[in-house]
Every structure is written in structure tokens, then in C-alpha cells.
Amino acid sequence: MPKYISAIVAVFLLIIGFASTIQAATPRSTWVENEIYQYNHPFASQLPQELATKMQKMAASPFAFYRGTAHIFYRDMQTFPNSGFVNSSTSAIWLEGDMHMQNLGGMRDSNSNNVFDTTDFDEGYLGPYVWDLRRMAVSILLAAKENGISSSDAQDIVRNFLDAYLNKMSDFKGTNDELSYRLESSNTNGVVKDLIQEAAGNSRSSLLNKYTMLNSSNRVFQTTSQLQPVSSSTYSDIAGGMSSYIASIPSSKRYSNSYYTLKDIRLKLGSGTGSLGKYRYYLLIEGPSSATDDDRILEMKQQGTSAVAIAAPGLLPSSVYNNHEGARVTIATKAMLSNTDPLLGYTTVSSIPFMLHEKSPYQVDFDYTLLTTKSKFMDAMSYAGKVVAKNHAISDKDYDTGIVPYSVDKEVTDITSGNKTVFKDEIVNFALDYATQVEYDYTSFVNAYNSGVTLY
């Protein structure tokens, strides 16, 4: 086709609300090896054993590889065709940034509601709303294939996820319903309801028994292969960072200083996939009383630049988060969750930015391997669509007009209205192609990993 004709076709497709998001999948072994090395190498000097664990985890399946390589996804988003359903007011909204099934879970919010929601905002940043939908859609296809679901059924599941997203956005338009919306055991069923009830049934004593022990009359952490003692200098540095952490918590949510009294610290190994290689500590603090049965565990995670910023550098002005990546994650969490953890905050230790939050007894990660039938998958992903819609809707002008000045639920509803089938086709076609790309990249990675190529 002559160039001028293809250009006319492209313009026509944009006019009718459809832009091709297809970019043919292709093997690119050397490029993949280099991307993985460049992203992970900065952490090789601090926790090489964690990076070894990361590579081992990523080798398990295409889905596991996808979890650990958000940076590759956003490298691709730099060059992939734009969506025909994004305009200026939907091109810079709050994104979770690493939207996949295992960043969802059952939890208890600060108002004691047991809910199904998003559990990780490490990559939170601004970008086009479709990036969260694309990333989730690809994860659905990869997980469905791993679970033995057919390709046609998997595409139906993605469409169901997108329907739930669009319908919930439409429900939110012109109302403030998103501000109080939550998924609880009363308005869910199946695997998601079970997950909420499992989280609700947990207890603080079981969490403390899992990670700590009583040493005479004092509670301390256990030492295990995944809970390692820290040096006296590291202990001192973290203790020194507690005051700025406390100061980062709004005064309305801040407890008395005695609440944050530091009792013990461990380096936590082996958690997550994408974040492996970065420092993660568990901090045991006093909690509301001097009794040992109400101690709290803080998770303290090293933060870097959001992977989304690879594709949209500078879209979230650093002034919004004082150029502190821990503050960025804290703000993103507050923007997209209701009734956020009162222990959420940030600090700097040895020039490294950290985000801190409670290691909650009442959080259970979503297990996609339970979705063994199409109906179970359809059901669960409809709730996922509602969660992503809620994330986007409450983080718009309802949260901070200085960051997102629009009503995202209105804008998304208006731009997709009348073209929902085309919109869903666009996302599904992207996801089909990109899932194939992930499988190519996974094969490239596994071959390099098995051949002893240096990947970090």
C-alpha cells in the first residue's frame, strides 16, 4: 500500500475512534537480554542473591516473567501505536502502573472494611488510562493459557474485564459514588468472595507468630532464611530514619511517638518478583500499647523510578513528590485507595528512598491458579475491572485537581461511548499480539538464563 494511502487510512481510523495497536511480535533475544541486564545491574552490588532468586522466579512461566519485567512493557509502550480512545484529558491520569492479577488481593482497610482491592503501587505514575487496561489484559491471557483456558475463552474473559471497567466508569459518571465504592463479601462471589473472607479471618496473633517470638518478656523477630539480621550500622541508620518517616505521616493520622518505638529489624528476602534486588526490611514497632500482643510490623521497601516513567518521562512532575520515590508511591497509594493505611509513609536511609506501610495480618494475595474454569475466570476478572475503574475514578480531580484536573470517569465514558465494541477489540488485539511478544521474550530469557548469560 502506498505511504500516502496508508496515512489516509490511519487518519480515518483515528477519526472513527480506532487506532491499530498491533505491532507484530518478533523474537529479539539480544535486546531482551540487554534490557534485563540494564534494569537489574544497578542492584547487583547490594543484593545479588535476591537477583538470582528473581531470575529463577521469572524462569517459571511467561506470566512470572511478565511480572518481573514491567520495564520491558513500558519500553515497548514508548513505540507502540497510541490508542484511538485516548485524548488530552485521559492521557495523564494516575495509573497503578503494574496492573496484573497478583497485584490484587483481599485486605482490611483503615475503617475495618474487608475488601478486594489493589495491593501494590510501587510503579504508580501518570499515563494514559489504557496502559493499566493493556497490562492487565495481557496478564489475563498469559494466566488463562497457563491454566488451560482456550484462547477464545481467554479473549471473552478480557472483554468481560473491559465491560466491567467501562460499565463501572459509566456508573460513576456524574456521581460521587466512586468515593465510597468497595467490593466486599456482600457484593462479590466465587474466588473473590472467598479471598475477602480468608483475609477477614486472619489474625494479628497469627502474623506475629509467623515472623516473631517472645524473648523473655520482649517480642523480637525470628531469624530464618528469609528474615536475616542486619548489621549494627544498618540498624542505626534505619532507626535514624524513623523520625522523618513519622513526620511524613499527616498529623491527623499520626499516633504518639511511643507507637513507633523500634523493637527489632530484619532484612526480608524472597518477596515479590519485580522488586527483588531492592532492599526490603521488616520493622517491629511497639504499636498502641506496651503489651506484646499488639505490636505492629512495618514493611520498608526501597523505591526507584516508576517503570511507567520509561514510556512517559516527566509526565508526573517531580515537584509533586519532592523528587522522593518513596513519597511518589505514598501519594499514588493515597490517590487510588480509600481509607488508606495510617502507617503509610516514607523516609530516606543512606541516600536510598523507602516507602513504609503496615505488613497487615489482613492481606491475602490473589491466586490466579484457582481460576480453573472460564466461569471462575470471568467472574473474578469482572471484579478486577471494577477495581481498576475505582482506582482511576477516585484518583482524578476528586483526589487532587493540581495533578489530575479532570473527571476521569466522565472523560473515559464519553470517549468510549458508542464505540465500546471497537474499544474492546482494540485492547484484545493488542493483548493477543503482546502476549505472543511476552512468550518470545520469555523464551529468549530462559535460553539466556540456561546458557549462563550474565543477566544482572
State the chain's mean pLDDT as an integer: 95
User: Which of 359, 344, 353, 350 lies closest to 240 in space, CA to CA?
Assistant: 350
pLDDT tens, 250-305?
999 999 999 999 999 999 999 999 999 999 999 999 999 999 999 999 999 999 99
pLDDT tens, 333-377?
999 999 999 999 999 999 999 999 999 999 999 999 999 999 999
What is the grid cell recorded at 220?
Answer: 523480637
**pLDDT at residue 299, as a whole number:** 98
Q: Tell me the domain boundaries of the chain.
A: 3-188+371-450, 200-364
How big is the chain, counted in residues?
456
Confidence band, pLDDT 50/70/90 cuts, at residue 21: low
257 CB-contact burial (10 Å; exposed 0-12 / middle 13-18 / buried 19+):
exposed
Cα separation, 214 vs 425, whole angstroms: 57
What whole-number percentage of the chain has pLDDT above 70? 95
**pLDDT at residue 23, as a whole number:** 78
Cα separation, 335 vs 43, whole angstroms: 29
What letter does residue 82 receive in the DSSP assignment? P
pLDDT tens, 132-142?
999 999 999 99
User: Which of 288, 320, 369 lies closest to 92 in space, CA to CA?
Assistant: 320
Question: Rounded to the nearest 5 degrees, what angle is found at the Cα of 381, between the Cα atoms of 376 and 387?
Answer: 140
Cα separation, 363 vs 103, whole angstroms: 11
**pLDDT at residue 17, as a whole number:** 38
Cα separation, 2 vs 4, whole angstroms: 6
Confidence band, pLDDT 50/70/90 cuts, at residue 27: very high
What letter does residue 89 receive in the DSSP assignment? G
Cα separation, 399 vs 456, whole angstroms: 39
